Amino acid sequence: MRLKILISGALWLILTVSFAQNNYKTFLKKADRAYHARNYDDAVRLYKKAEKFKKGNAKITYKIGKSYLLSREKVKALPYLKTVQQLDPNIDRDIDLQLGKAYQYNYRFDEAIKAYARYGQKNPKMVLRANRKIAECRMADSLYVNPNNAKVTGLGNTINSRWNDYTPLITADGNTMVFTSNRAGSTGGLKLRDGTYYEDIYISQKENGLWTKPVNISSKINFKFHDAASSLSPDGNTLFLYYESGGGDIYVSYFTDGEWSSPVSISDEINSAFWETSISITRDGKTLYFTSDRPGGYGNLDIYKSELKEDGSWGRPRNLGPSINTSGNEDSPFILPNGDVLYFSSDGHLGMGEHDVFYSEMVDGKFQPPVNMGYPINTVHSDNYFVISEDKKQAYYASIRENGIGMADIYSIDLSAPPPVRKKVPKKTKPVETPAETPTTVVASAAPLPPVKEEPPTDETPATASKEYYDEYVTLQKDLGIITLLKGKVIDAETGKPLEAQIRLTDNVGNKEMALVNSNAETGEFELIIPNGGNYGVSTAKTGYLFNSINFNLPAFSDYQEVDTHIILQKAEIGSKIVLKNIFFDIGKSDLRTESLGELARIRELLEGGSDLKVQINGHTDNVGNAVYNKVLSKKRAQSVVDYLVQHGIAQERLAAKGFGEERPLVSNDDEVDGREINRRTEIEIIGVGNDI
């Protein structure tokens, strides 16, 4: 009897395990299928069912976290990814990237920065991506702790659905809204792989201050495939549309005699074989702005401008240039009716995370560097399709937020409140320079610079030595009063006379140029704004001179401060040399750190601009450790700089490397900060000019 019971129990256990294993595989397969179909809500649900059969499984937990990260409930990814990272930090080379995103979506920016830093350390080839995410978190933190006066309110479930609702277009009187949605009930009823429907265009009226239930705008406009609204004239009688014809084109429909006309292509000049997505037009109907990914742009989607010709046709589109367009996507342009302010979304300009909304004012016929609209308009999620009233007091846009009704929802923005008052408390202090061997967050061997891209024709004047600009992040920090103001004079090392020179600010961590200013030709005076919270290089250059190098490593959110200095330039002649303050190595190593890329670019510019120069890179150490080892190390470091320059087009015969070890200290090695730190250095020295090469 006991034997029968044991046998029955064993069989029951085998069947139970087999049943569980089969169910686990079934749910896992379905979940994987939903994940690859981008149906992330279903993927989460199915992975959780699979998890019940394998509690604590790191791989399943990781898949749940990644699915949440791509769903509308992104904030829920964090506990899953944290658990996985603690259980198995080597589960995937991207685990720290995913964890960084989860922290970022939860507005925990310090922890996100640490995760992205680990990602860069483990994946040297992805260090630029890691640095970009770190820069986003710094920007996001600045905006988040200093919110603007905007009040953002969802339009509720009358307008919004559980699907995507976006591209709100409002008439000038504010009483009619046209928008796009891929909700159920679309024309044709066709579905995509992720469970959403094909897009249709809807219209709603405001009655007694409330929006009516949206209805399909017209059977002449909506078809069974994607139909999206792009722009609406102020009177509401001209509607610009996006259709999938060609590579994706802009069409136009007119409201006459109580109905919408059949859409027609706007122009062969505007539409191309490539992707045209969004459009906006001035009140007089003479200038339009649109987005396209046609060849010759600066990135993916760029914003272009076209003007109406005398014969009524649209002229050749002109790219708005690199002050507006980036290597990323610039989308959904909205021009104020009088044409003086352009609003758009971008994932290329530095923002809080995904797409942010920016604006650019037109001054003297040129659009100025874009300004981030700030938090709470922009969030760590995607914020897009921004439209605003002419008095700039009321706006609408689409945003993906964890407290929304659906995927993307439409929100209204009240901008009528006065802006918050910010105080600046000036004080003077000396710059804090980065020790040459103090490791910063991300460490990797030197990466190649991005290829130079041929620029398309633009409306902007070609860059000259007198061009000045500031990155939007610097401008934001200035408005918040968390900057260092570097000011002084640029002078000739031999005569002491003032010089006109170009002063460049570079974010060493992100390898991004942040500002370009010029010293006064008569006085040599200049002012340069340096945002707090980062490792920055300041390079001063003038034709015929060896450039000057300064480093600033500034703590985040310290008080406003001013630094007075004289920048001394030496003529480019045999024997002149400078210390390269923005060349970095780890302790005891000779691999260039990525923070050195900006300074390496300055050396390249010097040699490319002065083809008759020959230079020697000198390496120096302090007196700690073995003297022979130090001399070998210093030579290897100098050679690393030379090797980089050769790899990037500088002739080998114009370069030399020499290591001096501890033989040539500038000061005593008795202490660290005022001694050994200064003696550890890399120099550039001119050893040949003209026929002396």
Confidence at residue 7, expressed as pLDDT on a 0 to 100 scale: 54
pLDDT tens, 245-266? Answer: 767 899 999 998 888 899 999 9
Confidence at residue 453, expressed as pLDDT on a 0 to 100 scale: 38
Q: Which residue has the higher pLDDT, 658 or 401?
A: 658
* Buried/exposed code over 51-74 (b: 16+ C-beta within 10 A; e: otherwise): bebeeeebebbbbbbbbbbebbeb
Confidence at residue 500, expressed as pLDDT on a 0 to 100 scale: 94
pLDDT > 90? residue 149: no
pLDDT > 50? residue 119: yes
Confidence at residue 492, expressed as pLDDT on a 0 to 100 scale: 92
Confidence at residue 556, expressed as pLDDT on a 0 to 100 scale: 58
Confidence at residue 682, expressed as pLDDT on a 0 to 100 scale: 92
Could you tell me the two tokens for 596? 């050195």
Confidence at residue 531, expressed as pLDDT on a 0 to 100 scale: 85
Q: Which residue has the higher pLDDT, 562 or 691?
A: 562
Task: Tell me which residue has tokens 């037009």.
Answer: 281
Average pLDDT over residues 149-159: 91
Average pLDDT over residues 268-278: 90
Summary count for the chain: helices (H), strands (E): 12, 37
The H or E element that residue 448 is part of is none
Confidence at residue 96, expressed as pLDDT on a 0 to 100 scale: 94
pLDDT band at 18 (very low <50, low <70, confident <90, very high): low
Please provide the DSSP assignment of 567-605 as one string: EEEEES-TT-EEE-TT--B-TT--SBPGGGHHHHHHHHH
pLDDT > 90? residue 356: yes
Q: Is 520 helix (H, G, I), strand (E, B) or coil?
A: coil
Confidence at residue 418, expressed as pLDDT on a 0 to 100 scale: 67
As a whole number of angstroms, the distance between CA 633 and CA 620 comes to: 9
pLDDT band at 194 (very low <50, low <70, confident <90, very high): low
Confidence at residue 236, expressed as pLDDT on a 0 to 100 scale: 82
Average pLDDT over residues 607-619: 87
Q: Which ranges constitute the DSSP H helices of 240-340? A: none
- Integer distance in angstroms from the first to the last C-alpha of the chain? 102
Q: Which residue has the higher pLDDT, 428 or 615?
A: 615
Q: Which residue has the higher pLDDT, 175 or 234?
A: 175
Confidence at residue 489, expressed as pLDDT on a 0 to 100 scale: 93
CA 130 distance to own-chain centroid: 11
Overall pTM > 0.75: no
pLDDT band at 173 (very low <50, low <70, confident <90, very high): confident
As a whole number of angstroms, the distance between CA 86 and CA 78 comes to: 12
Lowest mean pLDDT among 116-125, 139-148, 189-198, 363-372: 189-198
SS (H, E, C) 322-381: CCCCCCCCEEEEEECCCCCEEEEEECCCCCCCCCEEEEEEEECCEECCCEECCCCCCCCC
Confidence at residue 420, expressed as pLDDT on a 0 to 100 scale: 57
Task: Tell me which residue has tokens 């640490």.
Answer: 114
Could you tell me the two tokens for 380? 């760590």
CA distances from 78 to 94, 100, 111 (A): 15, 9, 11
- The backbone torsions φ and ψ at residue 173, rounded to the nearest 5 degrees and listed phi first, read -80, -5
Helix, strand, coil content of the chain in percent (nearest 5): 25, 30, 45
pLDDT tens, 617-641? Answer: 999 988 888 888 888 998 999 998 9
Domain annotation for the chain: domains and CATH numbers: 24-145 (1.25.40.10), 151-414 (2.120.10.30), 427-454+463-692 (3.30.1330.60)
pLDDT > 60? residue 654: yes
Confidence at residue 13, expressed as pLDDT on a 0 to 100 scale: 47
pLDDT band at 185 (very low <50, low <70, confident <90, very high): confident
Q: Which residue has the higher pLDDT, 15 or 275?
A: 275
Lowest mean pLDDT among 285-289, 400-404, 648-652: 400-404
Q: Percent of the chain, pLDDT > 90? A: 35
Compute the mean pLDDT over every residue in the chain, rounded to the nearest whole number. 83
pLDDT tens, 399-452? Answer: 988 788 888 999 999 988 765 554 444 444 344 333 333 332 222 223 333 333
CA 659 distance to own-chain centroid: 39
Confidence at residue 597, expressed as pLDDT on a 0 to 100 scale: 82
As a whole number of angstroms, the distance between CA 80 and CA 57 comes to: 11
Q: Which residue has the higher pLDDT, 51 or 476?
A: 51
Q: Which residue has the higher pLDDT, 33 or 10?
A: 33
* Contact criterion met (CB below 8 Å) for 83 and 62: no
How many CB atoms are closer than 10 A to CB 156? 12
